[in-house]
Amino acid sequence: GTSPACRSTFNVQDGSDFQDRVVNNPKPVVVDFHAQWCGPCKILGPRLEKMVAKQEGKVLMAKVDIDDHTDLAIEYEVSAVPTVLAMKNGDVVDKFVGIKDEDQLEAFLKKLIGA
């Protein structure tokens, strides 16, 4: 579908958008911190989006450009990119830095959904 409720990936607009759609989200959310200048991010992003879509709405994905939202990146202690946080009920329950393959991403997502 094309309605917002069906879209599993979204770009974070600002701090309060992050609060509403990530921290306060009843569903688990993976947060992809990325940057324009980061080559590996351009590989991980689409791959993660694809694996998130496969989970049929059980997990959502928020994308944060660290240059646009530096305060947010600093708050969540992002040093290198890509950094992916797994968030549930406002808490960071898992995290990884760098590229992962599809199987690894699937395992990461399934653990987040299942836990």
Partner 1 sequence: DYDLIIIGGGSGGLACSKEAAALGKKVMVLDYVVPTPLGTSWGLGGTCVNVGCIPKKLMHQAALLGQALQDSRKYGWQYEEQVKHNWEVMVEAIQNYIGSLNWGYRVSLREKSVTYLNSYGEFIEPHKIKVYTVRGQVTYHTAETFVLATGERPRYLGIPGDKEYCITSDDLFSLPYCPGKTLVVGASYVALECAGFLAGLGLDVTVMVRSILLRGFDQEMAEKVGAHMETHGVKFIRNSQIFIQVEQLEEGMPGRLKVTAKSTEGPEVFEEEYNTVLIAIGRDACTRNIGLETIGVKINEKNGKVPVNDEEQTNVPYVYAIGDILDGKLELTPVAIQAGKLLARRLYGGSSTKCDYINVPTTVFTPLEYGSCGFAEEKAIEEYGKQNLEVYHSLFWPLEWTVPGRDNNTCYAKIICSKHDNNRVIGFHVLGPNAGEVTQGFAAAIKCGLTKELLDETIGIHPTCGEVFTTMDITKSSGQDITQRGC
Which residues contribute to the site for partner 1 (CB under 8 A)?
35-39, 66-67, 70, 74, 79, 81
What is the sign of the dihedral through the CA atoms of 114, 111, 33 and 59? negative
Query: Which residue lies nearer to partner 1 by CB, 61 or 78?
Result: 78
Do residues 85 and 34 lie in contact, with contact meaning Cβ atoms separated by under 8 Å? no
- CB of residue 66 vs partner 1: minimum separation in angstroms? 7
Smallest gap, in angstroms, from Cβ of residue 74 to partner 1?
Answer: 6
Q: Identify whether 38 is a catalytic site residue.
A: yes
CB nearer partner 1, residue 35 or residue 112: 35
Instruction: State the minimum distance, in angstroms, from the CB of residue 59 to partner 1.
Output: 27
Closest CA to 62 of 32, 20, 106: 32
Query: In the complex with partner 1, which residue's Cβ is closer, 59 or 73?
Result: 73
Active-site annotation holder among 10, 17, 38, 47 = 38
- Please give the order of strands across the beta sheet that includes 9-11: 9-11, 60-65, 29-34, 83-88, 91-97
Phi-psi region of 4 (alpha: psi -120 to 50; beta: other; left: phi over 0): alpha
Q: Which of 30, 41, 61, 84 is catalytic?
A: 41
Catalytic residues, by residue number, are: 38, 41
